[in-house]
Amino acid sequence: MPKKKTEDPAVMEEMAAMEGQPQKTGPDETAGLPAGDGSSGPDMGTDAAAAPAETAEEYKDAVDAPTGQTPPAEKEKKPRRRTAVKKSAAAKEQAEPLESDDPTVAPVRSAAPARQSVEKKSFFDLDFRELDKDLSPQQREEWEAIYASYRAKSTLTGAIAGPEEIRYTVRDKETGEMVSRKIPSLAIIKYRVKVLIPETEMWMPGEERPEYVMRNMAQGAVIDYVILDVDRENECAVASRRLALAAKRHYFSTASGGHRKGEIMKCRVLAVGPKKCLVEAGGYDLTLTQRDLSYTAIADLRERYEPGEELDCRIKEYDRRENRLVISVKEVNPNPFDGADRRHPVGSRRQAVISGKYGGGVFCTLPDDTVCLCLYSPQHQDSSFRVGDNVMVAIRQYDYRKKLIYGRILARW
């Protein structure tokens, strides 16, 4: 008598497993599984989506395994799934911006193209071909330099056009909230685009200067800067002098052959006061006095120097580790006192110009820039002579230790 076939699903599954034949599954059991070639679908932002997709063979082994027995492929999934979860978490951390306490530092973001910041997207999503189609050659050259500095952090150079107070949105260091503040800034306009440099981006950390120094720099000082942000539609940009100084210091310290004492280099005049002058050399902001600038006495440095001027200077001291640079402008040329006793012997009379007054004495500059400290003759009064007057002096004495010449004013010339 033939045996009646059983239709119990559990019995059929057990018989199929004993015979080594795969058990067919219904459509509900395979819904949502990846294709048999092992390819995965688009990333949906979940851990399951980040894990490697199961292949058709792994799924087949899982179905064919007897009840209560762990399939081999399932044991290998756990470490692979945990690795994918870690990668997903790491990618999430890279995608999120890192906020900085410094309001002048832009948030640090991942460099992955798929995770670009909103600012980067707003810049790269612009239709530059449409925006720049009507630009003149000078305008196009100006914008191309700005684009290159923004993307590569290359250094640009320009003269300051004037001061401005601009309202910026910054992060408060105490509360951590974004607040709106007015910050003194300097504007640079090379042709048509206004580049703004806020006070917080003017100086190296620990080397900040008073606000009035910035106002003096606004009289035409030439500075280096790096573009931080671009507002193409409003034709303006924000830049940092601080980053340009850091880059210039790096290049100065790593120059081939180094920089030694006695070497001659260039420095830029940034701001000038009656007694002091601020210059920049090798990425360092340095304050020079009259003794550093000239052998001759100068009553007011503003009459001799002005912002934007470039001078030769000689390195007196440079320490790379201590970030210390000492320069002298006057020592580029030899001291005019050397050999003056042969050019102007004692008892001779010379034409000179009054260059300054101090403590009853009068500084007179001879034609070869030699300084002679003079007194008035008894018949003359101080009110009769002014700075800039031409006078006749008589050479009386030489002080070789102090390198000074003493004389007496005989008459106005």
Residue 332 has pLDDT above 80, yes or no: yes
- Please give the DSSP secondary-structure letter assigned to residue 132: T
Among 32-36, 120-124, 257-261, 265-269, the range with the most confident prediction by mean pLDDT is 265-269
Question: For residue 265, which of 333, 336, 221, 329 has the smallest C-alpha distance?
Answer: 329
Residue 237 has pLDDT above 70, yes or no: yes
Average pLDDT over residues 111-134: 59
- Please give the DSSP secondary-structure letter assigned to residue 200: G
Considering only residues 117 and 289, tell me which one the structure prediction assigns the higher pLDDT: 289
Q: Exposed, middle or buried by CB within 10 Å (0-12, 13-18, 19+), for 368?
A: exposed
- Please give the DSSP secondary-structure letter assigned to residue 105: S
Mean residue pLDDT of the chain comes to 77
From the options 3.30.1490.20, 2.40.50.140, 2.60.40.10, 2.60.120.200, give the CATH code of 118-246: 2.40.50.140
How many CB atoms sit inside 10 A of residue 185's CB? 22
pLDDT in tens, 158-194: 999 999 988 877 778 788 888 888 889 999 999 999 9
Domain 255-332 has CATH 3.40.50.620: no
Tokens, residue 211: 């606000």
Considering only residues 9 and 118, tell me which one the structure prediction assigns the higher pLDDT: 9
Residue 18 has pLDDT above 60, yes or no: no
Tokens 């050019």 found at: 343
Average pLDDT over residues 394-403: 94
Residue 84 has pLDDT above 60, yes or no: no
The Cα 65–Cα 58 span in angstroms is: 11
Contact predicate 184/202, CB 8 Å: no
- Please give the DSSP secondary-structure letter assigned to residue 101: S
Least confident of 5-14, 119-128, 250-259, 370-379: 5-14
Residue 248, SS3 per DSSP: helix
Helix (H) or strand (E) holding 236: strand 236-240
The long-range contacts involving 20-23, CB below 8 angstroms and separated by at least 24 positions, are 22/60, 22/63, 22/64, 23/63, 23/64
pLDDT in tens, 38-70: 443 334 343 433 334 444 444 344 444 444 444
How many CB atoms sit inside 10 A of residue 249's CB? 17
Q: Where in the sequence of the chain do the CATH 2.40.50.140 domains occur?
A: 118-246, 255-332, 345-412
The Cα 171–Cα 101 span in angstroms is: 7
Contact predicate 61/72, CB 8 Å: yes
Considering only residues 132 and 333, tell me which one the structure prediction assigns the higher pLDDT: 333
Q: For the domain bounded by 345-412, which CATH number is listed?
A: 2.40.50.140
Tokens 């040329």 found at: 333
Alpha helices in 43-112 (DSSP H): 47-50, 56-64, 72-95
